[in-house]
Amino acid sequence: MKRNQLGKSDIQISELTLGCMSLGQNKSAAKQIIEAALDAGINHLDTADLYDFGLNEQLIGEIVKPYRNDIIITSKVGNHFNRETKDWYWDPSQKYILGAVKNSLKRLQTDYIDFYMLHGGTIDDPIDETIEAFEQLKKEGWIRSYGISSIRPNVIRQYVERSNIDGVMLQYSLFDRRAEEEILDLLHEKDISALSRGPLAKGMLSSQGEAQIDKKAVEGYLDYNQEELRAVYKELQHFTSDSLPMHALALKYVLYHPAIATAVFGASSLAQLQENMNFNHSQKLSEIVYHQMQQVTKDGFYTAHR
């Protein structure tokens, strides 16, 4: 599987990333999924300290310990949580970040995190203090690189201008193209990688897309109402084939933009993982098909956090 450089760092991540949030707590099942992903060429696992209130990191740490030197681990910080009460609050302070990373390292059974991300962010945060915390962790060797996970243009621009981030994780798919002009082009210009989460739009861009639209989009999805989603899905089916099923089309679309280093998808079963990875990774969309797909979908625009 192709690997791409993460920003200006020396980290190379596979063009597909296994998002681990939906792995659950069955260690045997999770181990099957992770090992199958690694066997298929995925080298990048994405988690966060808040997922299952630390248990997701703990699960991953137990499973990947034998392969630690062969994989890239991303985790996130900023949600100050209590595992016993299941409560949390936003805390991007330097003090919290410097303490939280030690807990993540312990749960992950590692002495460094490859890519550490702020798990959100607002324009009212103490941004310089947050950046200072990440820079300190990088200098001390606890992390190799850092970035933010956000869809807020005003926050992303602040980090682009004021920090040395190597990546931004944002929601991006054929059904959510808001990032394309305003954010992706900016990141590409600054040599900052984008990590696309939700590339299959909650499964609405999969082989079971019509059923998922009926189930998950009763109230619509972003700028689309349910009927529009059904109509667009049928239009997109014209671009699919036996060798290019819907999920592959959706993944190849987000990977087309040069800012995108990886598409992050989740899997709660081995069958789901295998289906999502079952396509020709070397075949790239043609420019003509790429623009035709844009014509049948909405470009979108961020209306909040200007």
Residue 304 has phi, psi (to 5 degrees) of: -105, 165
Q: Catalytic site residues? A: 51
Degrees, nearest 5: CA angle 114-47-184: 75
Domains of the chain as residue ranges with CATH = 3-202+253-283 (3.20.20.100)
What pLDDT score does 222 carry? 95
* Statement: the pTM of the whole predicted model exceeds 0.85: yes
Residue with tokens 């529009």: 228
Residue 227: enclosing H or E segment and its boundaries?
helix 226-237
Q: Which distant-in-sequence residues (6+ apart) come within 8 Å of 112 by Cβ?
A: 105, 141, 142, 143, 144
Both tokens of residue 70? 């062969």
What pLDDT score does 278 carry? 84
Q: Which amino acid does the sequence have at 227?
A: E
Flag whether pLDDT at 306 surpasses 80: no
- What is d(CA 105, CA 47) in angstroms, rounded to the nearest whole number? 12
51: left (phi over 0), alpha (psi -120 to 50) or beta: beta
pLDDT tens, residue by residue, 78-130:
999 888 888 988 999 999 999 999 999 999 999 999 999 999 999 999 999 99
Neighbours of 301 (CB within 10 A): 12
pLDDT tens, residue by residue, 16-66:
999 999 999 999 999 999 999 999 999 999 999 999 989 999 999 999 999
The pLDDT confidence band at residue 281, using thresholds 50, 70 and 90, is confident
Flag whether pLDDT at 282 surpasses 90: no
Q: At what angle do helices 270-277 and 27-39 cross, to 10 degrees?
A: 20
Both tokens of residue 154? 């005003």
Residue 147: enclosing H or E segment and its boundaries?
strand 143-149
Residue 226 has phi, psi (to 5 degrees) of: -60, -40
Neighbours of 82 (CB within 10 A): 10
